[in-house]
Chain A
Amino acid sequence: MEEAYGILNDGGENAVIGGGAWIRMLPRELDAAVDISGLGLGTIKKEDGRYEIGSMVTLRQVEMFKPFSELFNGIISKSAGAIMGVSIRNIATAGGSVAGRFGFSDLIPALLALDTSLFFHARGGISLEDYMESKDVGKDILTKITIKDHEGRGWFHTMKNTSLDFAVLNAAVSNSDGRCRIIVGARPYKAVPAYDAMKFMDECGGKTPAAIREAASIAAGELKFGGNQRGSREYRIELCKTLVERGLSEVFL
């Protein structure tokens, strides 16, 4: 690990390559590609009430890990399983998907809807939410992703033009003891919580269909959306309202 960290920070155009599945798509050349496959980071285990996903665990391992098919109605399995085909999910890693903070990520919204933390070799632990909002994340090595094992309902949906494309929009919603999380990703910007909509849901008395519709409208109004070849800004705003309303209905009604 020290050797890998040293190479990563030797001043060159160096990067940890994760599974390496998308490395050829990078619009830049690397001086050194750091492969951390041999560092024992390829397993999922449970410790002190949290699931620990080694950063080199493949998306397929995440998808097939039995407890994830039940945790919050299986949103982790569903989001990992929505990415490309099995032959790519056997290569691409959870760490690579998260560390890159990609806007198109299907996994990040589901993780953000739960109590998720990241652990880096040098900087130590940080919540995924803080990591997503960090201005400068520096060159560090993600070693594990941890998720609190607790009770609650969850919902995830990724809206795609074809199953092999990136999402037009994705959303994850959770409800744990009445506390709500609403995450919208692929806007096409990176996934973020809809804080105003979450506050509205937490503070509104009855979780009625009308209140849920209002929260979905608040989420669509507070978040920034953009247009690209997959969908226009206006289309994404409408999708956001629909997905968030469906998600909240699933976890509250």
Chain B
Amino acid sequence: MKVRFLVNGEKKTFEVKPDEYLLDTLRNNNYKSVRRGCETSSCGICTVLMDGMPVASCSLLTAKAEGRHITTVEGIQEDAELLAGFFGREGADQCGYCNPSIALACYAMKRELKDPTDEEIKAYLVGNLCRCSGYSGQHRAIRAYLEVK
């Protein structure tokens, strides 16, 4: 089946299987920043934005993206670089595997929540797992990123 949607602002048409998930469609078409993790909705590594909201691409059938705006980390370069700077300063990452998904989730959070508390930040990021950091450095970096107006 043919599915049409925007990826980072570009109109795309994909030929997909009816039971194909967005994670596979994107990776099969060389959007390799979208990473494969648990594939059971639990780890957040495959997060992309759909119409500006975070979605787990391993759990979204590609057919459901018809007509929608999909954003990968390449679509938020400026913010991703800003966040990466804070991550570097706080020593908040090691392997970097989860960085694209965390960046997208933080980008969406910044637009969705107004002056979030620490608890609201943590609640928003439930399900975005990082196996390296222990989260404290990440949290400081994310807090600094959110404070940039």
Contacts and interface: CB of A to CB of B under 8 A. Distances in A.
Interface of A: 17, 19-25, 33, 35, 37, 60, 81, 84-88, 90-91, 163-164
Nearest to A165: B42
Nearest to A38: B66
Contacts of A21: 41, 56, 59-60
B36 to A, nearest CB: 14
Decide if the interface of chain A is mainly helix, strand, loop or mixed: loop
Nearest to A164: B42
Interface stretch (B25-33, B71-79, B81-89, B119-127): B119-127
Interface of B: 18-19, 21, 39-42, 44, 47, 50, 53-56, 59-61, 63-64, 105, 108, 123-128
Nearest to B124: A86
Nearest to B127: A85
Nearest to B42: A164
9 contacts: A23-B61, A24-B59, A35-B63, A37-B64, A81-B123, A87-B105, A88-B56, A91-B59, A163-B126
Contacts of A19: 64
A60 B125 CA distance: 13
Given A17-B61, A84-B41, A91 B56 contact: yes
Contacts of B123: 81
A6 to B, nearest CB: 18
Contacts of A163: 126-127
A112 B60 CA distance: 28
B21 A84 contact: no
A87 B47 CA distance: 7
Nearest to B47: A87
Given A17-B61, A35-B63, A88 B127 contact: yes
A37 B62 CA distance: 13
Contacts of B21: 24
Given A60-B53, A164-B126, A88 B61 contact: no
A87 B127 contact: yes
Nearest to A163: B126
Given A91-B56, A164-B126, A86 B105 contact: yes
A25 B40 contact: yes
Given A86-B54, A90-B50, A20 B59 contact: yes
Nearest to B104: A87
A60 B53 CA distance: 10
Contacts of B64: 19-20, 35, 37, 91
B2 to A, nearest CB: 15
Shortest beta-carbon contacts, A-B, top 5? A85-B127, A87-B54, A87-B56, A21-B59, A85-B126
Given A20-B61, A25-B40, A91 B55 contact: yes
A35 B65 CA distance: 12
Contacts of B55: 87, 90-91
Given A33-B18, A37-B64, A164-B126, A88 B105 contact: no
A91 B44 CA distance: 13
B53 A88 contact: no
Contacts of B42: 84, 164
Contacts of A164: 42, 126-127
Contacts of B19: 24, 33
Contacts of B108: 86
Contacts of A91: 55-56, 59-60, 64
Given A81-B123, A163-B127, A164-B42, 11 more contacts: A21-B59, A60-B53, A84-B41, A86-B53, A86-B125, A87-B44, A87-B105, A88-B59, A90-B53, A90-B54, A91-B59
